[in-house]
Amino acid sequence: MHISILGLGAMGARIAARLLDHGHTVTVWNRSPERAEPLIERGANIAATPREAAERNDLVLSIVRDDEAAEVIWLGDGGALHGLRANAIAIELSTVTPDWTRRLGEAVAGRGAGFLDAPVVGSRPHAEAGNLTFLVGGESSALENVRPVLDVLGGVVHHVGAVGAGATMKLAVNAVFAVQAAALAELLAMLRGAGLNESEAVGILNALPTASPAAARVATLMTERAFTPNFPIDLVEKDLGYAVEVAQAFGVEAMVVAATREAFAEASGRGFGGDDIVGIAQLYGG
């Protein structure tokens, strides 16, 4: 397929590389064009603007940091929406708010194109290995048209409802992960303070049915002080903020998620924002 990718951050660049490796024709755009150079060497085309990238192909993927970045590349001057072809399909892969995805979906429909919000579950290693999971909101027909592309990138697809449902589900997934990480950071500090051997304590925690696979991995990485970013703290805090906003819009106070956001905001404020989610352990001397 002929595919345009908007945004070449840690995930976007890896997604583009994998599609190139599987024989797809890929056009890329990034705010900093130099990020595209390794992909150009592998056969990618580069567009000067998101609009130009959209004009070239019938499948346009976006994966950027937040609502504000997504709005600029889709709706701003030179934005992709202005070049989107009728009958094309646009996919928002970013972790953004359901309000934004619904707004974008309406704008895309106005162009006569299809739209999916399909945020990805997984981090950099998953993108490289083609092990991403997609949480999809939108029409089934559009999903079936792009399924061959999603299969290259992961193949695990959960169609969770209409446009906006994918974004909502992704925020819940990330919040569950973050709550576990924050709790473990505190509890490991408690165990160390009580004089227990941290590695032995983690072994016990991980062997019990109360530990999820994600929690077990987080606890192990905390003991190893493995803070190289796959899911940076700054992005965790952003996603938790979105989750709180969505919950409160439905009358849910979300006290636990809000408290977890405060912990990650504190970690970011202390200079740990670029570290992996498990780096929140550094708040407690970990």
In 7-69, at which residue ranges do the beta strands (DSSP E only) sit?
Answer: 25-29, 45-46, 59-62
pLDDT at 78: 96
User: Of 118, 280, 258, 65, which is closest to residue 186 (Cα–Cα)?
Assistant: 280
For the chain, what are the domain ranges?
2-162, 168-284
The series of mean pLDDT values per 10 residues for the chain, 286 residues long, is: 96 97 97 96 97 96 98 97 97 98 98 98 94 98 97 95 98 98 98 97 97 96 97 98 98 98 98 98 94
pTM: 0.96
**The pLDDT of residue 106:** 98
Contact between residue 60 and residue 4 where contact means Cβ atoms under 8 Å apart:
yes
112-131 burial: b if 16+ Cβ within 10 Å, else e: ebbbbbbbbbbbbebbbebe
CATH superfamily of 2-162: NAD(P)-binding Rossmann-like Domain (3.40.50.720)
Per CATH, which fold does 168-284 belong to? Answer: N-(1-d-carboxylethyl)-l-norvaline Dehydrogenase; domain 2 (1.10.1040)
Length of the chain: 286
Q: Which two structure tokens, joined as six digits, stand for 128?
A: 């490289």
Tens-place pLDDT, residues 27-49: 999 999 999 999 999 999 999 99
- Residue 1: predicted pLDDT: 85
pLDDT (0 to 100) of residue 59: 98
Q: CA 240, CA 238: separation in Å to the nearest integer?
A: 5
Which helix (H) or strand (E) segment is 73 a member of? helix 67-75
Alpha-helix runs per DSSP H in 154-197: 165-193
Instruction: Kindly calculate the radius of gyration of the chain based on its CA atoms and give it in whole angstroms.
Output: 20
The pLDDT value recorded for residue 155 is 78
Query: Which DSSP string corresponds to 123-151?
Result: -HHHHHHT--EEEEEE-HHHHHHHHHHHH
State the Cα–Cα distance between residues 108 and 122, nearest whole angstrom: 26
Dihedral of CA 187/192/195/196: which sign?
A: positive
Q: What is the largest CA-CA distance in the chain?
A: 65
Q: What is the DSSP string of 74-142?
A: HHSTT-GGGGPPTT-EEEE-S---HHHHHHHHHHHHHTT-EEEE--EE--HHHHHHT--EEEEEE-HHH
The answer to whether the CB of 275 falls within 8 A of the CB of 286 is: no
Helix (H, G, I), strand (E, B) or coil at 232: strand
Question: Could you tell me the sign of the dihedral formed by the alpha carbons of 71, 73, 76, 80, in that order?
Answer: negative
CB burial string 83-98: b at 16+ within 10 A, e below:
bbbeebbbbbbbbbbb
